[in-house]
Amino acid sequence: MECEFPEKNASSAEVSAILKQYKTIAVVGLSDKPDRPSYGVSEYMQQHGYRILPVNPALKGPVLGEQSYADLKSLPVKPEIVNIFRKPDAVPEIVDEAIAVGAKVIWMQEGVVHNAAAEKARQAGLQVVMNKCLLKEHHHAG
C-alpha cells in the first residue's frame, strides 16, 4: 500500500509553472458522464484554454468535443500533462506509456498516489504531481 502523504511532491511554485507552461492534457480515465469528477475537471480546464485528450478504452465516441482514445500511444499529438483518474494500481502502466510518448508531467488526481511510479517518472525526466486536483490547483494559481 502506498503512503497517503508522499515525501516528494511538486511545490506550489512548480504546480503554478506547470499550469502556465503546458496546455495539452491527456486525461486517463475520463468519463463521458457529466456528473463524474473526471468530466467536471476536464470541462473546467477546457474552458480555461487547455486542450483535453480523452483516454479511456471503454469510450467509443467523443467527449467534450474531442475524440477519445484507447491509450496514450494512440493519441495524434504528444500530451504535455498526463492527468490520471484511475486507481493507484493502474498508475505504473500509465507512467510507462507517458514516458514512451514523451509527456512532460504526470499528474495524479486527489486520492491517487504511487510513489514507485512517481520516482520512475522523475528518473525519466518528468515532473510529478500527486494527490492534487488539477481544477483546484488551477483555481489557486489564479
- Mean pLDDT across the chain: 93
Q: Give strand pairing partners of 128.
A: 106
Percent of the chain residues topping a pLDDT of 70: 95
Q: How far apart are CA 98 and CA 30, in angstroms?
A: 16
Report the share of the chain in percent with pLDDT over 90: 87
**Residue 129 φ then ψ, to 5°:** -120, 125
- Residue 50 near residue 25 (C-beta atoms within 8 A): yes
> Cα(124)–Cα(45) distance, rounded to whole angstroms?
26
pTM of the model: 0.93
First-to-last CA distance in the chain?
A: 34
What b-and-e string marks burial along 60-81, b requiring 16 or more CB atoms within 10 Å of the CB?
eeebbeeebbeebeebeeebbb
Q: What is the mean pLDDT of residues 5-21?
A: 84
CATH of 12-141, one of 3.40.50.720, 3.40.50.920, 3.40.50.300, 3.10.129.10: 3.40.50.720
What mean pLDDT do residues 8-32 have?
94
Angle at alpha carbon of residue 115, lines to 88 and 38, rounded to 5°: 35
pLDDT value at residue 6: 45
Residue ranges covered by each domain of the chain: 12-141
66-108 pLDDT per residue, tens? 999 999 999 999 999 999 999 999 999 999 999 999 999 999 9
Distance CA 139, CA 142 (A): 5
pLDDT recorded at residue 73: 97
Residue 56 has pLDDT above 90, yes or no: yes
* Helix segments in the chain, DSSP class H: 12-21, 37-47, 91-101, 115-123, 134-141
